[in-house]
């Protein structure tokens, strides 16, 4: 159980020490039953902490910005197009921002996200606040992220409910014509690939 109830039925959170002990006990039992090894868990944790992250998706976006033919392939078949760059593990649908269309990705039912490409979702993406509100009042939510789009821009919300995951191809910011593909990738943030912010000409924060 993740929680406990007192005699009045009120929920109270378990201390971190108990949660940590329960997880250690679970891992110990599964190792004893030869269903897992500590090394395998270590490697998965390490993969998400070091190898898999927004920097991978940023490479895909930058390539699409500099190579129109790649952009076409990416929009037509995201799964195959990211394999060209050595990425995989996800069935991918890429949706493109344009001057008239802004895309926003959410999973109202759980936390579906293209994590094999851009890493594990941030806490806010999994929050009740985002999941409940992004589909009903996307413009209000976007303003909370500092993005205020005119009503002439259509906001397309993608409620990710299947094993096909969504990645936003943001608009290339103006004034970046002379940047290299690698420098462009530096500008692309996680939040821009979810669709809650726009890519800025200079990376404001390492999100």
Partner 1 sequence: MNGIHDMGGMHGFGRVEREANEPVFHAAWEGRVLGLTRACSVQHIFNIDESRHAIERMAPIDYLASSYYERWLDRNVRLLVEKGVITREELERRMAQLASGPDPAPSHSDAKLLDRMLGVTKERPHYRQPGPPPRFATGDRVLTRNDAPVGHTRLPRYARGKHGVIDRVHGSYIFPDTNAHGQGEQPHALYSVRFDAAELWGGSAEPCAPVHIDLWERYLEPAAPARSTS
Choices 57-65, 66-74, 136-144, 175-183; region in contact with partner 1 by CB under 8 A: 136-144
Q: Which of 20, 38, 110, 180 is labelled catalytic?
A: 110
Locus of tokens 């110990």: 28
At closest approach, how far in Å is the CB of 66 from partner 1? Answer: 25
Choices 42-50, 64-72, 167-175, 176-184; region in contact with partner 1 by CB under 8 A: 42-50
For β-strands 101-106 and 92-96, DSSP reports them as: unpaired
Mapped onto helix, strand or coil, the DSSP state of residue 40 is helix
Which of 49, 67, 84, 181 is the binder for partner 1 (CB under 8 A)? 49
- Give ∠ CA 131-134-136 in degrees, rounded to 5: 110
32 part of the interface to partner 1, by CB under 8 A: yes
Residue 81 near residue 69, CB atoms below 8 Å: no
Region for residue 6 given its phi and psi (left: phi exceeds 0; alpha: psi -120 to 50; beta: otherwise): beta
200 part of the interface to partner 1, by CB under 8 A: no
Please indicate whether residue 111 is annotated as part of the active site. Answer: yes
141 part of the interface to partner 1, by CB under 8 A: yes
Please indicate whether residue 38 is annotated as part of the active site. Answer: no
- What distance in Å separates the CA atoms of residue 203 and residue 56, rounded to the nearest whole number? 16
Which of 76, 84, 98, 154 is the binder for partner 1 (CB under 8 A)? 154
Which runs of E-coded beta strand occur in 28-100?
92-96
Task: List the interface residues with partner 1, window 105-134 (CB under 8 A).
Answer: 108-111, 116, 119-120, 122-124, 126-133
CB-nearer residue toward partner 1: 153 or 203: 153
Which of 45, 76, 182, 183 is the binder for partner 1 (CB under 8 A)? 45
Residue 142 near residue 149, CB atoms below 8 Å: yes
- CA-closest candidate to residue 141, choices 130, 150, 149, 152: 130
CB-nearer residue toward partner 1: 65 or 158: 158
Catalytic site positions: 107, 110-112
């Amino acid at each position: 159980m993740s929680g406990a109830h007192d005699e009045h039925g009120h929920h109270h959170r378990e201390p971190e020490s108990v949660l940590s002990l329960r997880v250690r006990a679970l891992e110990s039992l599964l190792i004893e039953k030869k269903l897992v090894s500590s090394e395998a868990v270590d490697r998965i944790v390490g993969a998400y902490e070091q190898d898999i992250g927004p920097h991978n998706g940023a490479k895909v976006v930058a390539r699409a910005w500099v190579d129109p033919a790649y952009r076409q392939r990416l929009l037509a078949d995201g799964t195959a197009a990211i394999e060209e760059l050595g990425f995989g593990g996800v069935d991918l649908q890429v949706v493109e921002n344009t001057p008239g269309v802004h895309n926003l990705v959410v999973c109202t039912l759980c936390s579906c996200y293209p994590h094999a490409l851009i890493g594990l979702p941030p806490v806010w993406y999994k929050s009740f606040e985002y999941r409940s509100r992004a589909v009903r009042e996307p413009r209000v939510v976007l303003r909370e992220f500092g993005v205020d789009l005119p009503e002439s821009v259509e906001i397309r919300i993608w409620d990710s409910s299947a094993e096909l995951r969504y990645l936003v191809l943001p608009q290339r910011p103006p004034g970046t014509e002379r940047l290299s593909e690698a420098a462009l990738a530096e500008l692309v943030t996680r939040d821009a690939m979810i669709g809650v912010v726009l890519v800025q000409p200079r990376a404001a924060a390492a999100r």
